[in-house]
């Protein structure tokens, strides 16, 4: 028994903030941002909340899966930008979509949050405790940005992605997960402190960590499942930065074409980036049944992890 | 060490090896940006088994400054 993704959904705020818009707010330029990050625009929540985006993404995923909200037994929201410390975001989603019988919890692991949430939901399914789960990543990063800090505010965006995970006895679904943290490097990337909420990041340390740990995690995961990078149809990495993803691909000696990207349109949406990308690919029929895919997240904690699945 | 450093810069950042001189300034002459420098730091750390903390990066402005820095750290030429 394992969890299999049977439907995906996403929700992006309507407001688009381009690099040119940002260059009117801080001393930056489209050229500076796009060459260093790959990002050209991002969505910013105006009226949308972390919970409302999560609920909209969840409803789209339910519809895509052909599943009713009342059938959902577990809702996990990965977020670091909850609207409230309590009640949690998952409970707000439950109320909004009408999943009255679902257990509700949030998971906080920043940009690795969706991987942790998927891992958790899959573990509950493997244990036979729940059969149908909603796994959501939703972030309102704009709420913890210092709009005067040009090195950070250009990087992030808002949005939500979701998937329905159902118990399945077949060959498809989540095959294996690898998840790690190094708390000793926690202060390299911080945000959301009660007295100082804005994101602080040491770019060099984050870059070094990401380009080393992501290939290591993916390599370990595929090797222990008897696969090689050639067997993997697509690597869906957290959409932090095009240069990090290019460096990871180079280190893995893998074709960059196998690394789909959408940070150009949405920026870094933290825990939401992987499920948004997954939903885009699913709706464009770019995920092939029976093929292997790897999802990989990395970020604050420091934390990193990967999921191997067969679609 | 210069030849090895030239190789690393050429390989990691994709710069023509012949354009890399000891006096080359990363930003001005080689048009290297901050993420290229991060990439170079990762490569140098792995090649020479050293740790280059972020605060040291601002002193690494030219190819020669990298060589001097590594020698100060005890890396053999």
| Distance in Å, alpha carbon of B68 to nearest chain A alpha carbon | 21
Are A249 and A270 spatial neighbours (Cβ–Cβ below 8 Å)? no
Sign of the CA dihedral running B6, B7, B11, B17:
positive
Q: Using a CB–CB cutoff of 8 Å, tell me whether B54 touches chain A.
A: yes
Mutant choice from B39, B41, B47, B57 vs A, greatest count of A C-beta within 10 A: B39
CB A107 within 8 A of CB A76: yes
Span A56-102, pLDDT tens digits:
999 999 999 999 999 999 999 999 999 999 999 999 999 999 999 99
Q: Is A157 helix (H, G, I), strand (E, B) or coil?
A: coil
Per-residue pLDDT reduced to its tens digit, A209-243: 999 999 999 999 999 999 999 999 999 999 999 99
Which among B35, B54, B57 has the least Cβ separation from residue A243? Answer: B35
Interface of A with B (CB under 8 A): 35-36, 202-205, 207-208, 211-212, 241, 243, 247
Q: Which of A154, A187, A208, A253 to mutate: most B Cβ within 10 Å?
A: A208
Contact flag A208-B42 (C-beta cutoff 8 Å)? yes
Q: Does A203 contact B41 at a Cβ distance shorter than 8 Å?
A: no
- Chain Cα centroid distance, residue A105: 17
Q: How far is B57 from chain A (nearest CA, A)?
A: 9
Residues of A in contact with B34 (CB under 8 A): 36, 203
Q: Which residue has the tokens 């804005």?
A: A198
Torsion of CA B34, A263, A277, B36, to 10 degrees: -20
Instruction: From A239, A293, A294, A245, select the one nearest A270 (Cα to Cα).
Output: A239
- Note whether B38 contacts A: Cβ–Cβ < 8 A: yes
Contact A304, A116 (CB under 8 A): no
β-pair type (A158-168, A200-201): unpaired
Nearest Cα of chain B lies from the Cα of A209 at a distance, in angstroms, of 9
| Cross-chain residue pair B38–A204, CB shorter than 8 Å | yes
Residues above pLDDT 90, as percent of chain B = 58
Partner residue opposite A36 with nearest CB, options B33, B41, B45: B33
Q: Do B54 and A204 touch (CB under 8 A)?
A: yes
ipTM of the complex: 0.89
Q: What is the pLDDT of residues A132-168, one digit of tens each?
A: 999 999 999 999 999 999 989 999 999 999 999 999 9
Residue B14 banded pLDDT, cuts 50, 70, 90: confident
pLDDT of residue A191: 94
Global pTM? 0.95
Residue A174's nearest CA partner among A219, A124, A210, A139 is A124
Does B68 score more than 80 pLDDT?
yes
CB interface of B with A, residues 1-30, below 8 Å: none
The active-site residue out of A89, A104, A238, A282 is A238
Query: Would you place residue A106 in the very low, low, confident or very high pLDDT band (cuts 50, 70, 90)?
Result: very high
When pLDDT is averaged across residues A116-141 and rounded to a whole number, the result is 98
Output the six-digit token pair for A278: 């997954």
Tell me how close the Cα of A207 comes to any Cα of chain B, in angstroms. Answer: 7
Which residue in B27, B35, B55, B56 has the most chain A C-beta atoms within 10 A of its own C-beta, making it the best mutation to test that interface?
B35
**Contact list, A207 vs chain B (CB under 8 Å):** 35, 38-39, 42
Share in percent of chain B as helix, strand, coil (round to 5) = 60, 5, 40
Instruction: Give every CB contact of residue A136 below 8 A, 6+ residues apart in sequence.
Output: A54, A57, A58, A61, A75, A76, A77, A78, A89, A90, A93, A117, A160, A161, A162, A275
Predicted confidence band of residue B77 (pLDDT cuts 50, 70, 90) = low
Q: Where are the alpha helices (DSSP H) in chain A?
A: 19-23, 30-37, 50-65, 89-97, 113-126, 203-224, 242-252, 263-266, 273-283
Supply the DSSP symbol for A39.
Answer: -
Residue A234's nearest CA partner among A159, A287, A173 is: A287
> Is residue A160 a contact partner of residue A11, using CB atoms and an 8 Å limit?
yes
From chain A, the residues in CB contact with B41 under 8 A are 204, 208
Q: Which pLDDT does position B75 carry in this prediction?
A: 86
pLDDT at B54 over 80: yes
Residue A307 has pLDDT above 80, yes or no: yes
Of the candidates A119, A77, A114, A109, which has an alpha carbon nearest to the alpha carbon of residue A94? Answer: A77
Q: What secondary structure letter does DSSP report for A180?
A: E
Task: Render pLDDT for A40-59 as a digit per residue (tens, 0 to 9).
Answer: 999 999 999 999 999 999 99
- The alpha carbons of chain B give a radius of gyration, in whole angstroms, of 11
Q: What is the pLDDT of residues A13-40, one digit of tens each?
A: 999 999 999 999 999 999 999 999 999 9
pLDDT band at A113 (very low <50, low <70, confident <90, very high): very high
Q: Identify the burial level of A291 via C-beta atoms within 10 angstroms of its C-beta, where 0-12 means exposed, 13-18 middle and 19 or more buried.
A: middle
The pLDDT, as a whole number, for residue B13 is 86
| Closest to A43 (Cα-Cα) out of A122, A187, A139 | A139
> What is the C-alpha to C-alpha distance for residues A119 and A176, in angstroms, rounded to an integer?
9
Question: What count of other Cβ atoms lies within 10 Å of the Cβ of residue B76?
Answer: 7
Q: Is the peptide bond before A11 cis (omega within 30 degrees of 0)?
A: no
Pick from A61, A54, A62, A102: nearest CA to A81:
A54
Q: Which residues of B are catalytic?
A: 33
CB contact under 8 A, A205 and B33: no
Closest alpha carbon to A168 in A236, A122, A232, A134:
A122
């Amino acid at each position: 028994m394992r969890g299999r993704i049977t439907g995906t959904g996403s929700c992006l705020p309507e407001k688009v903030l381009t690099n040119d818009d940002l260059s009117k707010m801080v001393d930056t330029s489209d050229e500076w941002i796009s060459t260093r990050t790959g990002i050209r625009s991002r969505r910013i929540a105006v009226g949308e909340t972390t919970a409302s985006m999560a609920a909209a993404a969840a409803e789209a995923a339910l519809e895509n899966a052909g599943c009713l909200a009342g059938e959902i037994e577990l809702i996990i929201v990965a977020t670091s930008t909850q609207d409230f410390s309590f009640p949690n975001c998952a409970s707000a989603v439950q109320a909004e979509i009408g999943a009255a019988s679902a257990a509700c919890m949030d998971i906080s692991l920043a940009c690795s949050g969706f991987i942790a949430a998927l891992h958790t939901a899959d573990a509950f399914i493997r244990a036979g405790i729940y059969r149908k789960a909603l796994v959501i990543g939703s972030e309102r990063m704009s709420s913890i940005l210092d709009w005067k800090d040009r090195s950070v505010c250009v990087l992030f965006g808002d949005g939500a992605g979701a998937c329905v995970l159902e118990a399945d006895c077949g060959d498809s679904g989540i095959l294996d997960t690898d998840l790690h943290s190094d708390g000793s490097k926690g202060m390299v990337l911080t945000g959301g402190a009660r007295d100082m909420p804005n994101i602080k990041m040491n770019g060099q340390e984050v870059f070094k960590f990401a380009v080393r740990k992501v290939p290591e995690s993916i390599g370990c995961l595929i090797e222990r499942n008897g696969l090689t990078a050639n067997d993997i149809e697509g690597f869906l990495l957290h959409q932090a930065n095009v240069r990090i993803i290019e460096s990871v691909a180079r280190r893995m000696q893998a074709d960059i074409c196998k690394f789909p990207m959408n940070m150009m349109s949405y920026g870094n949406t933290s825990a939401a980036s992987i499920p948004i990308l997954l939903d885009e690919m699913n709706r464009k029929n770019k995920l092939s049944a029976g093929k292997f895919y790897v999802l990989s997240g990395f970020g604050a904690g420091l934390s990193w992890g990967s999921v191997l699945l067969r679609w | 060490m210069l030849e090895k450093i030239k190789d690393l810069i050429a390989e990691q950042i994709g710069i023509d090896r012949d354009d890399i001189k000891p006096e080359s300034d990363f930003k001005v002459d080689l048009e290297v940006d901050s993420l290229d420098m991060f990439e170079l730091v990762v490569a140098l750390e792995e090649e020479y088994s050293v740790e280059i903390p972020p605060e040291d990066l601002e002193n690494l402005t030219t190819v020669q400054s990298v060589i001097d820095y590594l020698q100060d750290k005890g890396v053999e030429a």
